[in-house]
Amino acid sequence: MFTKRMLAAALLAAFTILAGAFSQQVRADVVRAVEYYHSGIDHLFVTANPLEIDALDSGTVDGWLRTGQRFRVDDAPAAGLEPVCRFFTSAYAGKATHFFTASASECEGLKAASDWVYEGVAFYVRLPDAAGTCGADAVAVNRLFNGGQGGAPNHAYTVYDGTREMLARSGWIPEGVAFCAPLAPGNSIVNTQALAGSEWNLPRDLPTDDVIPANQIKFQSTVRLDASSNAHEPVAYVPFQARGDGFAYGSGTWDPIAGSYSVMVSDRFGLGKEVTFDDAIGPNVPVCTMHKVGGAAGWNPSIATHYPVELFTGCEPGLAHRL
């Protein structure tokens, strides 16, 4: 039987090896931190480590699903940035959990704690000002504590007000703004406009009822705005339909928080995928396709009460071709 303690040991070994390998890479770049959820231990985890992301997406480290949340961080020190210390423990109920802090005092305090293992710097961030704000070019990443639910500590790091409020209503304790994540440069409406009128052949089949063909889409020419969906600026999106007689539908938009194009695809029964184009538009673009496994009408039962986010399986890399 694979016990929770064995799971904790496996996670510790896998993450420690991957973190060690990543620490040898020196790149000054803005990267994306990706959030995951593990239903077996009811914990959240976030990482910007590309080796860990690959291991979690591929199932090399088993049991973790993307929640759909990503935000931008720096992977090397620079002026105005502070290191985010990363810690690990399996001392509570045999459950593996990680903790991240940009606070120098918290970092030093946990280094002296016997229950926590310091794993190094996870990434680099800006800190909020004295009022807890991050400025117009960044988004606040709020930290919440689960209060020890399930016998083990876990923290959530979220940029979304709705997620923060839902967690708080379910007993998670808000701990304020942990750090600031830079928004991607450029105007979202202008960036979204780049999709308008374009046609694409995607690397993975879309969830259609009639496959004619199921992986080709054409964005409409008119960009629409939804001023109520984003606290920073109106959301611009371009609807599309599958070519032929397929029933797939959805929209593409520029996400300034992740710094990528996000194409949400669904059929008439709500089955869906997310396809992301990172920082580029055709003709041949590396993409990540994630299969949706949760939604407004069907959350994962183990997290339905406190973390209603859209869950996706890992990332299937591919190449999209502009027609």
Q: Digits of tens for pLDDT over the chain (323 positions)? A: 334 444 444 454 444 434 444 444 444 589 999 999 888 888 999 999 999 999 999 889 988 989 888 999 999 999 999 999 999 999 998 888 999 999 999 999 999 999 999 999 999 999 999 999 999 899 999 999 999 988 999 999 999 887 888 888 888 999 999 999 999 998 888 999 989 998 888 887 776 655 556 678 888 888 888 765 555 556 788 888 765 555 667 889 998 999 999 888 876 666 678 888 887 888 899 999 888 776 443 333 333 334 445 678 888 889 999 88
Same-domain check for residues 123 and 108: yes
Burial of 284 (0-12, 13-18, 19+ CB in 10 A): exposed
**Residues near 30 by Cβ (< 8 Å), separated by ≥ 6?**
72, 73, 74, 75, 182, 259
Q: What is the pLDDT of residue 305?
A: 38
Strand partners, 36: 45, 66
Same-domain check for residues 17 and 134: yes
Q: Which residue has the tokens 């931008």?
A: 72
Q: What is the pLDDT of residue 290?
A: 87
**Count, residues in the chain:** 323
Same-domain check for residues 241 and 285: yes
d(CA 302, CA 317): 28
- DSSP of 213-234: STTEEEE-S--EEETTS-SSSP
Q: What is the pLDDT of residue 248?
A: 66
Q: Structural domain tally of the chain?
A: 2
Same-domain check for residues 13 and 145: yes
Alpha-helix runs per DSSP H in 4-160: 4-23, 50-58, 104-111
CA 15 to the chain's CA centroid: 18
Q: What is the pLDDT of residue 158?
A: 93
Same-domain check for residues 142 and 165: yes
Of the residues 125, 148, 182, which one is the last residue of a structural domain? 182
Same-domain check for residues 155 and 235: no
Q: What is the pLDDT of residue 49?
A: 96
Of the residues 182, 201, 225, which one is the last residue of a structural domain? 182
Alpha-helix runs per DSSP H in 49-187: 50-58, 104-111, 161-169
Q: Which residue has the tokens 């942990």?
A: 178
Domain of residue 303 covers: 188-322
Same-domain check for residues 23 and 87: yes
Of the residues 182, 204, 239, which one is the last residue of a structural domain? 182
Local structure of residue 267 (DSSP, 8 states):
-
Residue 98's closest CA among 12, 32, 25?
A: 12
Strand partners, 140: 180
Q: What is the pLDDT of residue 274?
A: 85
d(CA 21, CA 225): 43
Q: What is the pLDDT of residue 52?
A: 96
Same-domain check for residues 16 and 106: yes
Same-domain check for residues 60 and 35: yes
Same-domain check for residues 260 and 149: no
Q: Tokens for 97, please give them.
A: 């959990």
Strand partners, 47: 34
Same-domain check for residues 196 and 154: no
Same-domain check for residues 20 and 152: yes
Question: What residue type is 170 in one-letter code?
Answer: S
Query: pTM for the full model?
Result: 0.84
